[in-house]
Amino acid sequence: MSGYCILVVEDEFIVAYELKVALEGMGYTVCAMVNSGEEAIDCAEREKPDCVLMDVSLKGEMDGIEAARHIRSRLGIRTAFLSGYPADEMMTRAADVRPIGFFVKPLEYEELEMTLARFLLSRGTDIN
């Protein structure tokens, strides 16, 4: 999967670092790890990642869903959400962002790898 760049947005450093290691082991490049919605938007504008892995609950003024809305509307970049909570309520709030996936922590890395691969390989034919 080399050549694809992923932005990791997670406010717990150890979780972000584990994600970085796992993604690099899958052959992806992690263009940056940031810990707030505002930083995610700024970084996405600079780095233009292929997709974003974003924790729903972030410290600061903006949660992950709101940051993903900005990134999607400004740049057209899609997001996969991470959460420590069940998906139901968050998916309802995130429906208009059209996430590529929703993963409950602790993550199942095989599921994450399959979802990312399916999305990234289909982008040329998929309506984003």
- Report the first-to-last Cα separation within the chain, whole angstroms: 20
CA proximity to 51, closest of 26, 34, 31, 37? 31
CATH of the domain at 16: 3.40.50.2300
Does the residue 62 lie in any domain? yes
Does the residue 87 lie in any domain? no
Does the residue 50 lie in any domain? yes
Does the residue 127 lie in any domain? no
Number of domains in the chain: 1
Q: Is the pLDDT at 5 greater than 80, yes or no? A: yes
Mean pLDDT (whole number) for 76-98: 83
Does the residue 128 lie in any domain? no
Q: Quick one: pLDDT band at residue 8, thresholds 50, 70, 90?
A: very high
Predicted local confidence at residue 54, as pLDDT: 96
Does the residue 60 lie in any domain? yes
CA proximity to 3, closest of 50, 53, 52? 50
**Domain span at residue 53?**
5-82+92-122
User: Tens of pLDDT along 30-39?
Assistant: 999 999 999 9
* Confidence (pTM): 0.91
Predicted local confidence at residue 83, as pLDDT: 87
SS3 37: helix
